[in-house]
Amino acid sequence: MAAPALVLRNVLLPGGRTADITMQEGKVLHAGAGAGGKADRTIDCTGLYVLPAAVDMHVHMRGGPQSAKEDWATGSRSALAGGVTVVLDQPNTIPPIIRPDALRARVLEAKTHSLCSFAINSGVTQDTPIRSMWDAGAMAFGETFFAPSSNGEAITPGDLESALREISACGALATIHAEEVGPGDDNDLASHNRIRSVEGELRAVREVGRCNTAGCRLHFCHMSTRNSVIAASALGSVEVTPHHLFLSRERFADTDALGKVNPPLRSGKEQNDLWEAWDKITVIASDHAPHTPAEKRAAFPDAPAGIPGVETMVPLLMAAVLEKRVTLPDVIRKTSQAPAEILGIPCAGLDPGDRADVALYPKKAVAIDPDSLHSRCGFSPFSGLPAVFPRMVILGGEVVCEEGEFTCGSPQWFAGKGYCP
């Protein structure tokens, strides 16, 4: 047998035991005392948190005519710098991913430029060929817009019911953007919150449940309130973003579109209430949605909704671990294990046979500095908040990010279970 490519020594495992982790050919080969043979590289992990790398189930990597906001090269660097080695790209691109040829083109674009592993979702419209998209390798279907959003066309209840029937017949997952958009001017954060209300979000979740007559497997994206999380958890898996956990609209001037996102940032009270539903949250995902600073500085009604977050997602949670607000096992579960299980991809971890994707974190937080982040958009609404960024990130047993320097490893395309080459 060839010498192991990488050995991590003195790794503190979640159960409290210290072990050496041997990695070879993209997987964990051995976890225990000592490592046989001479490794290509040995890393001492004393004093570091060693975590299975994250899977971000909700990113918008832009590219194409939106490359000024982000593309696969910059977005994947941002992911790796935040301890994320797998991203699930959403289909409301330009053009949207609603035909097999568009899906194949998107996969090729990511294969050519991405430094992290990835999967691609199919959009859902009235005439999307669901079975053909499944055969072409779509990981899941959505985010399916049950309310209009930036570059996202809303679907009617009747069309959603029909789509869920087709998606269920494939044995696939439907991911849902559940909101209700009411009437009124959208002139500031307060009116944006009022139009896309907490009550409307809850009603939309319940309506999606009524539409799911086929019993399709559901995943609810970016739930922003405690009651929505509880209602959605009875219907499927539930995703919450760091911006809904760590930000409230009171953090921003009322006309500051840096805080404009769908669903909206809620009040400080609603933000605190959302934390009370922590145990009902299945997954933390970023909804990484970069726009240019010029776009976000436009008059509030004209500014696009969405904020970047793939690089800061896990670091914010790691700072919360240091503050004892959440536990390390919870962070691992909600950012790595649960997303992998929902998507049906191999789990990253520290046990033999696991995907050898891990991130090494110091035990000290720093203030988030937007100028040090890697997204092309160049801003962050989390500026100044405490975060713990990984010192090193390993993908497939290879160090791909170390102290801000990136190396091209061996990222994978994770096709959906229906893929027919």
* Token pair of 305 as six digits: 């909704």
Q: Give one DSSP letter per residue of 20-51, joined into a string.
A: EEEEETTEEEEEES---S--SEEEE-TTSEEE
Sheet of 18-24: strands edge to edge? Answer: 27-32, 18-24, 6-12, 41-44
Max Cα-Cα span within the chain: 68
* Nearest alpha-carbon partner for 241 in 52, 57, 387, 53: 57
Measured CA to CA, the distance from residue 227 to residue 274 in angstroms comes to: 8
In the chain, count of helices (H) and strands (E)?
13, 19
| CA gap 150, 278 in Å, rounded | 28
The CA distance from 181 to 178, in Å, is 10
Task: Please state, in angstroms and rounded to a whole number, the distance separating the CA atoms of residues 317 and 303.
Answer: 28
Q: Which residues pair with 218 in a beta bridge?
A: 174
**Pairing mode, strands 173-177 and 366-367:** unpaired
How far apart CA 31 and CA 392 sit, in angstroms, is 19
> If you search the block for the tokens 């500085």, which residue do you land on?
297
With CA atoms as reference, report the closest residue to 136 among 82, 172, 174, 92: 172
Listed in sequence order, the residues at least 6 apart from 411 whose beta carbon sits closer than 8 Å to its beta carbon are 76, 85, 114, 115, 116, 117, 118, 395, 396
Residue 302 makes CB contacts below 8 A (sequence gap 6+) with: none
Catalytic amino acids? 287
Q: Is the sign of the CA dihedral 368, 371, 375, 380 positive or negative?
A: positive
DSSP string of 321-373? Answer: HHTTSS-HHHHHIIIIIHHHHHHT-PPB-SSTTSB--EEEE-S--EE--GGG-
Spatial CB neighbours of 100, under 8 Å, sequence gap ≥ 6: 129, 132, 133, 135, 136
